[in-house]
Amino acid sequence: MPASFLSASRQPRLWLASSRSLFPRLPYLPGSARFRGYPAGAMAALYRPGLRHSWHGLRPLGWPLCRSIQTLRVLSGDLGQLPASVQDFVERSARLCQPEGIHICDGTEAENTATLTLLEQHGLIRKLPKYNNCWLARTDPKDVARVESKTVIVTPSQRDTVPLPAGGARGQLGNWMSPADFQRAVDERFPGCMQGRTMYVLPFSMGPVGSPLSRIGVQLTDSAYVVASMRIMTRLGTPVLQALGDGDFVKCLHSVGQPLTGQGEPVSQWPCNPEKTLIGHVPDQREIVSFGSGYGGNSLLGKKCFALRIASRLARDEGWLAEHMLILGITNPAGKKRYVAAAFPSACGKTNLAMMRPALPGWKVECVGDDIAWMRFDSEGRLRAINPENGFFGVAPGTSATTNPNAMATIQSNTLFTNVAETSDGGVYWEGIDQPLSHGVTVTSWLGKPWKPGDKEPCAHPNSRFCAPARQCPIMDPAWEAPEGVPIDAIIFGGRRPKGVPLVYEAFNWRHGVFVGSAMRSESTAAAEHKGKIIMHDPFAMRPFFGYNFGHYLEHWLSMEGRKGAQLPRIFHVNWFRRDEAGRFLWPGFGENARVLDWICRRLEGEDSARETPIGLVPKEEALDLSGLGAIDTTQLFSLPKDFWEQEVRDIRSYLTEQVNQDLPKEVLAELEALERRVHKM
């Protein structure tokens, strides 16, 4: 594969000149797109689109050489002051995408205000006067979530990206695309895709600027919504460029895929191109390409694309871990503090746990992050973690003062809501918000239609979101931006399991813990309604986010045990969602989950409060502090029905041997066989 999909070969350079001297008082030049209101000090650049090259530099796109020279104006910032590698990335992308102008984002409050004002003027967001600086966006109904089927990893060898399933089964652990197919897909989409739009240059840091655990990216986008969101979710602006210097960065190119060519108005006010949506990752070159979607998970490329898919590959190459995990600090009544990382699939309460208000008196939980953890061993062998994000991109439905009071406090200001409902008094509304509507207040659904309680259709989209600055959370940990990270004492895996899986158990050792992560399963609603609830495999809660072959990922986790001097965290598994025969939850959850963390912390102190079972170590009788809870059926909560576990190990074996096949590490297979033997003896 060439050194970069923005290959330097045979591409003409953009000639730069001061707009003040070269183009005095001219709104545009002949042959160019029309520019409006650019600052007097803006830079201008000339480019000739004749030798346009597609990604990877494999062949020209055939743009006619006779086309007139066009003027590309930098509307804000100075292209010539960018680091050379960033400038080169911007120039090549501009030649490909043909934006009307370039805006280099500085990350200032003034710039953010201008961005929000622009979005409001274009009808893409509405101000929510009930709160301070809060806004509501409504997307096209076809652009509401991550699109796994159109999300690909590009490597020369398929097996670098995904295991080859046994028996011709359909792979479930990622989508691979060859470089040649990816080249063709990009060639069909990106030439001229930003015509009539501004290309925004977003220098951003994942993690605190300057931290040895942080990484820098530069995203180019034609979406002002992305600019406003990335400013919340990452550290963005001029300080990042200063920290970057001549260093490496991840290249991120995004377009909504709807150029404004004057050939008719867009079908939807929300620009997107669902039919041609593609989210591609080129891990060998540390590059991300996204086309056709404005939704967060597809367009905020610092999040899942960079922080998990690309970063997991970086982590493997460099000896660290990039994981779909919350990070919290928990302090007991005696003042002893521990840090815990936890991996849960979607809809299993990751944000609620990260922001928990403990029900146990004297306990305190503080949030480091609610979604992603980057973890690296320090010189003393401690596994240290940072939250690479700067904000929360949380699911709104189900969030309330009861389920997550700290999240509700966080989103009262400086928050961008997407696809929630709007109240007539300038507020937001969604299913499970647990707030009665005031007399006379009406609700407009996420589709812009009148809505009232009791209507069949939900008022908010099930995947509607809030995007809020992390610093506004009232329980952010004092060390949440510590450049060295926080020391992780325990790793928790969990899922939504209505039957058979106990409230909590501890892995026997690191290797067994890796197996527990590989065998994670969780209840999910199938796409087809009539299928009802099904149990889905979601190993490490990373199934949609692996940046490379899952079998190699397991080998990487197993290798941590062999690191000299490594102080490995203890591994646990939790299940807040077990039900009785009548379908009622056996455990109250939410703030009461502190009782489980209490037991975990006591186990870390060496307390003899666990008994061995075939699946792991569970709390001894009366080891859990249940004071003040009332009747809890601990017998059923911790029961291990033999028939359930016989089926469970069959399902785990079927999944791992089929999906991971020849890439399944022998150590994981040995743990599976050991579990089968223990279950057989139950």
Which helix (H) or strand (E) element contains residue 540?
Answer: none
> And the tokens for 6?
């923005």
CA 293, CA 256: separation in Å to the nearest integer? 5
Cα dihedral sign, 137-143-148-154:
negative
Helices (H), 223-359: 224-233, 238-244, 296-299, 311-318, 350-354
Task: Choose among 159, 155, 174, 317: nearest CA to 662.
Answer: 159
- Eight-class DSSP state of 121: H
CA 347, CA 353: separation in Å to the nearest integer? 12
CA 294, CA 230: separation in Å to the nearest integer? 12
Which helix (H) or strand (E) element contains residue 288?
Answer: strand 287-291
Which helix (H) or strand (E) element contains residue 392?
Answer: strand 391-395
**Three-state SS sequence of 590-659:** HHHHHHHHHHHHHHHCCCCCEEECCCCEEECCCCCCCCCCCCCCHHHHCCCCHHHHHHHHHHHHHHHHHH
Q: For residue 642, how many other CB atoms are within 10 A of its CB? A: 12
Q: Are 671 and 511 in contact (CB under 8 A)?
A: yes
Strands 337-343 and 490-494: parallel
CA 196, CA 148: separation in Å to the nearest integer? 29
| AA identity, residue 289 | V
> What are the catalytic residues?
146, 295, 304, 324, 346, 348, 371, 465
- In sequence order, the 6+-apart residues with CB closer than 8 A to the CB of 484 are 211, 212, 213, 378, 384
Q: Are 150 and 539 in contact (CB under 8 A)?
A: no
Strands 70-76 and 101-104: parallel
CA 564, CA 262: separation in Å to the nearest integer? 63
> Quick check: helix, strand or coil at residue 281?
strand
Query: Which burial class, exposed, middle or buried, applies to 58 when counting CB atoms under 10 A from its CB (0-12, 13-18, 19+)?
Result: middle
Q: Are 432 and 619 in contact (CB under 8 A)?
A: no
Cα distances from 106 to residues 59, 78, 82, 203, 233, in angstroms, run: 35, 11, 12, 8, 15
